[in-house]
Each structure stands twice: as structure tokens, then as C-alpha cells.
Amino acid sequence: MTEASKGTLVTGVIGSDTHIVGNRILSRALEQAGFRVVALGALTPASEFVDAAIETNADAILVSSLYGQGELDCRGFRDLCTEAGLGDILLYVGGYLVVGEQPWESVERRFLDMGFDRVFPPGIRPDDVVGPLADDIAERRGGESLSGDQPADGPS
């Protein structure tokens, strides 16, 4: 880390899900776009996303799920963050979130209701995430910092 980054992100694949490839591509692309990425990899329990976000003072958590169990695994994720003092940390989720053919709008609605800030369908490109993410983080940093923390500076 040689300069202040655009933000610190925690990425990983939640639950008993081993599909790591897409998450790895996304993590690499985000790093190249100037974010600090803490990549937890596959088979990550919800609590480990939260622990990592606390220690690294992350700006956002990006949860991937590709085996259709995402709705079960992500239930209560926002509450977990609130309990842990992460408050309004940005939460994104994406992948094959549910089983079977379901209208995207209804899937998106359910995950937004769970407290995720953005929900991404399968087949998107990393650039589709980078843009909104940079905007969302900048917007939060522009406002009052609720945690009372300075923006994270990398060691020189």
C-alpha cells in the first residue's frame, strides 16, 4: 500500500459455496481499479466477513453466492453488521442468489429488504460494480463519518 486507496473492501463467497473463480476475477479487477481488497475466498461464514470488516475498517462488504442458497446464507447479514458496530457499512451481494426461474425484480427486492445496498444479477462484468461502488463510497465519505474514524490511510 503506497497511497490512500479508493476504499477498503471485503470480498468472499458465503456459506458452503466453493465457486471461487468469479469472485477471484472480481477481486482482482477491484484491486486494479484502486481499492484495497481483503479477499476471504470460498466457504466463508457470514461472521468472518464481519470480523474482517471490523479489523480492516472496511468501507464495503461484497458477498458472492453462486449455488442458489444465498437467500438462506444472507438472512440477518445486516443485523450482524449492526450488532458488530459496522452500522451503515455498504453491503453488496451478487451471483446466482436463488434456485429456479424467478423474476429478477422480486429477487432484488428481497435482498434489498434484507438490508443490502445493491444486488447484482449473474453475468455482470467487474466494471458494472466498480462504478457504483466508487460513487457509493465517495458519497458516504462526503457525509458525516458515523464511525468517527479518519478515512483509512495505507502505510507509506
Partner 1 sequence: MNMALLIDFGSTYTKLRAVDLDAAAVVGSGQGPSTVTSDVTVGLDKALTELASHMGGLPRFRHRLASSSAAGGLRMITVGLVPDLTAKAARLAALGAGAKLAGTFSFELTEGDVDDIVDALPDIVLLCGGTDGGNRKVIVHNAQRLAESALACPVVVAGNRSAADTIAGDLQKAGKKIIVTENVMPRHLELNIEPAREAIRQLFVEHIVHAKGIDRARARFDAVLMPTPAAVLQGAHCLADGVAGEPGLGPLVVVDIGGSTTDVHSVCDGHPSHTGVVYHGLPEPHAKRTVEGDLGMRHTARSVVAQIGRDAFSGEAGMSVEAVEALLRRSDDDVGWLPQRDDERQFDQALARRATRLSVTRHAGTHETIYTATGPVTLQRGKDLSEVATIIGTGGVLVHGDDPARTLSAAMAGDHAPLSLMPRSACLMLDADYVLYACGLLGAVEPAAALAFGREALKSLDGERTEKDADHDATAAQ
- H/E segment holding residue 120: strand 118-120
Per annotation, catalytic residue among 19, 51, 88, 136: 19
Closest separation in Å from C-beta 152 to partner 1? 5
Binding site for partner 1 (CB under 8 A): 1, 8, 16-18, 36, 38, 40, 42-43, 48, 51-52, 54-58, 67-68, 147-150, 152-155
Residue placing its CB nearer to partner 1 in the complex, 79 or 128: 79
Residue placing its CB nearer to partner 1 in the complex, 43 or 108: 43
Sheet arrangement for strand 36-39? 36-39, 8-13, 60-65, 90-95, 118-120
| Among candidate residues 70, 127, 124, the one with its CA nearest the CA of residue 93 | 70
For residue 17, indicate whether it is catalytic.
yes
Residue placing its CB nearer to partner 1 in the complex, 38 or 133: 38
Per annotation, catalytic residue among 17, 59, 73, 117: 17
Non-local CB neighbours of 46 within 8 Å, separated by 6+ positions: 14, 73, 74, 76, 77, 80
For residue 59, indicate whether it is catalytic.
no
What is the set of active-site residues? 17, 19
